[in-house]
């Protein structure tokens, strides 16, 4: 179960984009507002009892700065207090209040507080429903995030029920893009489970086939995405020919942004990592652990060499031609 939860949480989270490291000497320009300035701006806003929109904007800006500075607990406190001041305005400002609650849930999830994070996403959904039509795409997409939270907690049946409900509602409202997201998430979750429980492989393939056989032009990009998930399933059969066939079915892409389609587990040999067999957990100060992994993408869209790069306590400059995954 623990391995399944890790797979689900990393696969359904906001995508970790590979970073192309092409030069060790390139100039990097960093822009932003200092932490003390966002703190002062928020304090001034609260002191003059600023309108909810301003309060939420200032709170989100400061909490983001606290997150960047590594003050996870401080960021949570900022959003908790903002929630207390503004959640009653959901009917008047549904999207702004929802944004605040969604951010609070994501920050809570960063260090493994899955239960409170899920409740925040449900609260974000309720905020949208307080001021928007229930068939609005923003309401439906937030409901998908609630389904993701169930999946991350290992409650797969609950997640599947949410995804199916969103698909039905989206089709009824004529929002086929949202329906596509719901179908793809459902297939992805079952594909992830199939990687640890072969009994789910047939169901996962059926869900992918539903997407691949969909006739609607609006679902074209989801049919392409389904091919990527099918590569994951093909890799489970330990059949190189089947895996090559699944990879070949993916349309060519720009060489400027290599697409990693298949890679074996990179943490199989934990003895090579500085923390050995120890799990990644929150530290005493509430900040989550993380690691950086560098890897190369081959011409066949597979993962070439992978290597450990860094943890919060260490840092290693990535070399040219490597991509980074955190």
Dihedral, CA atoms, 273, 277, 283, 287, nearest 10 degrees? 50
| Residues contacting 45, CB < 8 A, separation 6+ | 54, 55, 58
The pTM is what?
0.72
> In the chain, at which residue ranges do the beta strands (DSSP E only) sit?
19-21, 292-297, 303-310, 322-325
Q: d(Cα 91, Cα 89) in Å, to the nearest integer? A: 6
pLDDT at 162 over 90: yes
Q: Which H helix or E strand runs over 78?
A: helix 72-86
pLDDT of residue 154: 86
CA proximity to 137, closest of 98, 81, 86 = 98
Are the CB atoms for 86 and 100 separated by under 8 Å?
A: yes
Structure tokens at 1: 């179960």
| Least reliable range by pLDDT among 40-44, 46-50, 228-232 | 228-232
- pLDDT, tens digit, 9 for 90 and up, residues 185-242: 999 999 888 888 888 889 999 999 999 999 999 999 999 889 888 887 777 767 677 7
pLDDT at 2 over 80: no
Q: Domain limits of the chain?
A: 259-326
Work out the number of other CB atoms within 10 angstroms of the CB of residue 220.
Answer: 11
């Amino acid at each position: 179960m623990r391995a399944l939860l890790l797979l689900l949480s990393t696969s359904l989270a906001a995508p970790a984009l590979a970073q192309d490291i092409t030069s060790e000497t390139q100039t990097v320009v960093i822009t932003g507002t200092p932490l003390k300035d966002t703190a002062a701006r928020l304090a001034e806003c609260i002191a003059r009892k600023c309108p909810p929109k301003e309060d939420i904007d200032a709170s989100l800006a400061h909490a983001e700065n606290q997150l960047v500075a590594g003050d996870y607990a401080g960021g949570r406190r900022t959003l908790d207090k903002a929630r207390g001041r503004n959640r009653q305005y959901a009917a008047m400002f549904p999207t702004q209040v929802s944004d605040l609650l969604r951010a609070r849930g994501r920050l809570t999830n960063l260090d493994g507080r899955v239960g409170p994070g899920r409740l925040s996403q449900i609260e974000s959904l309720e905020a949208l429903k307080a001021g928007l039509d229930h068939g609005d795409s923003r309401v439906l997409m937030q409901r998908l995030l609630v389904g993701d939270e169930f999946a991350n907690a290992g409650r797969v049946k609950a997640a599947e029920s949410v995804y199916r409900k969103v698909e039905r509602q989206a089709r009824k409202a004529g929002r086929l893009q949202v329906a596509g997201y719901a179908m793809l998430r459902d297939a992805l979750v079952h594909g992830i489970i199939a990687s640890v429980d072969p009994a789910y492989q047939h169901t996962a393939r059926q869900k992918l086939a539903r997407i691949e056989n969909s006739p609607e032009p609006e679902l074209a990009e989801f049919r392409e995405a389904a091919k990527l998930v099918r590569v994951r399933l093909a890799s489970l059969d330990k059949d190189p020919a089947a895996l090559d066939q699944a990879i070949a079915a993916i349309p060519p892409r720009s060489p400027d942004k290599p697409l990693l389609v298949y890679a074996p587990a990179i943490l199989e040999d934990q003895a090579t990592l500085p923390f050995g067999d120890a799990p990644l957990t929150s530290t005493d100060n509430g900040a989550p652990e993380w690691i950086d992994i560098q890897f190369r993408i081959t011409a066949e869209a597979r993962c070439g060499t992978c290597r450990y790069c860094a943890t919060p306590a260490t840092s290693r400059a990535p070399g040219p031609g490597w991509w980074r995954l955190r």
